[in-house]
Structure 1
Amino acid sequence: MKMKLSVLDQSPILTGTDPKEALQQTTDLAKWTDKLGYHRFWVSEHHSTSSLAGSAPEILAAHLAAHTENIRIGTGGVLLPHYSSYKVAEAFRVLETLHPDRIDLGVGRAPGGMPNINLALNRGKLPSIEDYPSQVEELMAYLHGQDPHGMDIYATPKGETAPPVWMLGSSGTSARLAADLGVSYSFAHFINGRGGIRAMDRYQDHFTTSMQQSNPNGNVSVFVVCAETDEYAEYLASSLDLALLQIEQGGKRTHFPTPDEALSHKYTIFEEERIQENRNRMIVGSVEKVKEEIEQLAESYNVDEVIVNTIVTPFEDRLRSYELLADAFQLSHSKTTMT
Structure 2
Amino acid sequence: MKLSILEQSPVLSGMNAHDALKQTTELAQWADKLGYHRFWVAEHHSTDSLAGSTPEVLAAHLAGKTENIRIGTGGILLPHYSAYKVAETFRVLETLHPGRIDLGVGRAPGGKPNVNLALNKNKFPSVEDYPAKISELMAYLHGEDPQGMGISATPHGNSSPPIWMLGSSGTSARLAADIGASYSFAHFINGHGGTKAMERYLNYFNASIQQQEPKGNVSVFAVCAETDEQAEYLAASLDLAILKIEQGKQIRRFPTPDEALNYSYSMFEEERIQENRSRIIVGSPDKVKMELESLAESYFVDEVIINTIVTPFEARLKSYELLAKAFQLTPRST
Shorter-chain TM-score above 0.5: yes
Aligned to 1:175: 173
Aligned to 1:224: 222
Aligned to 2:146: 148
Q: Which deviations, in whole Å up to 9, do the C-alpha atoms of 1:100-158 show, x marking residues without a partner? A: 00000000000000111100000101101100000000000000011111111100000
Q: Displacement, 1:19?
A: 0.1
Q: Displacement, 1:252?
A: 2.6
Residue 125 of structure 2 aligns to which amino acid in structure 1?
P
The number of equivalent residue pairs is: 333
Aligned to 2:131: 133
Which of 168, 192, 199 is matched with 2:197 structurally?
Answer: 199
Q: Please give the alpha-carbon distance, in whole angstroms, between the structure 1 residues aligned to 2:242 and 2:174.
A: 28
Q: Secondary structure at the match of 2:43?
A: coil
Tell me the TM-score normalized by structure 1. 0.98
Q: Displacement, 1:334?
A: 6.0
Q: Secondary structure at the match of 1:251?
A: coil
Aligned to 2:302: 304
Q: Please give the alpha-carbon distance, in whole angstroms, between the structure 1 residues aligned to 2:277 and 2:87.
A: 37
Q: Which runs of 5+ in 1 are unaligned?
A: none
Q: Secondary structure at the match of 2:183?
A: strand
Note if 1:124 corresponds to 2:115: no
Q: Displacement, 1:182?
A: 0.3
Q: Displacement, 1:73?
A: 0.1
Which of 315, 318, 326 is matched with 1:317 structurally?
Answer: 315
Q: Which runs of 5+ in 2 are unaligned?
A: none
Aligned to 1:35: 33
Give the RMSD, CA atoms, in angstroms: 0.8
Residue 136 of structure 1 aligns to which amino acid in structure 2?
I
Q: Please give the alpha-carbon distance, in whole angstroms, between the structure 1 residues aligned to 2:203 and 2:46.
A: 38
Aligned to 2:110: 112
Q: Please give the alpha-carbon distance, in whole angstroms, between the structure 1 residues aligned to 2:86 and 2:49.
A: 26
Aligned to 2:328: 330
Residue 113 of structure 1 aligns to which amino acid in structure 2?
G
Q: Secondary structure at the match of 1:42?
A: strand
Which of 78, 88, 94 is matched with 2:86 structurally?
Answer: 88
Q: Please give the alpha-carbon distance, in whole angstroms, between the structure 2 residues aligned to 1:233 and 1:281.
A: 15
Which of 47, 59, 63 is matched with 1:61 structurally?
Answer: 59
1:210-221 mapped onto 2 (5 Å cutoff): 210-221=208-219
Q: Please give the alpha-carbon distance, in whole angstroms, between the structure 1 residues aligned to 2:324 and 2:285.
A: 10
Tell me the TM-score normalized by structure 2. 0.99
Q: Which deviations, in whole Å up to 9, do the C-alpha atoms of 1:278-318 show, x marking residues without a partner? A: 00000000011000000000000000000000000000000
Q: Please give the alpha-carbon distance, in whole angstroms, between the structure 1 residues aligned to 2:102 and 2:278.
A: 27
Residue 277 of structure 1 aligns to which amino acid in structure 2?
E
Q: Tell me which stretches of 4 or more aligned residues in structure 1 moved more than 4 Å.
A: none
Aligned to 2:236: 238
| 8 Å CA contact retained: 1:190, 1:281 | yes
Residue 27 of structure 1 aligns to which amino acid in structure 2?
T
Residue 226 of structure 1 aligns to which amino acid in structure 2?
C
Q: Secondary structure at the match of 1:213?
A: coil
Q: Which deviations, in whole Å up to 9, do the C-alpha atoms of 1:5-49 show, x marking residues without a partner? A: 000000000000000000000000000000000000000000000
Residue 304 of structure 1 aligns to which amino acid in structure 2?
D
Q: Please give the alpha-carbon distance, in whole angstroms, between the structure 2 residues aligned to 1:162 and 1:85.
A: 15
Q: Please give the alpha-carbon distance, in whole angstroms, between the structure 1 residues aligned to 2:276 and 2:10.
A: 19
Q: Please give the alpha-carbon distance, in whole angstroms, between the structure 1 residues aligned to 2:297 and 2:200.
A: 16
Aligned to 1:76: 74
| 8 Å CA contact retained: 1:70, 1:333 | no
Q: Displacement, 1:319?
A: 0.1
Q: Please give the alpha-carbon distance, in whole angstroms, between the structure 1 residues aligned to 2:332 and 2:296.
A: 22
Percent identity between the two aligned chains: 74
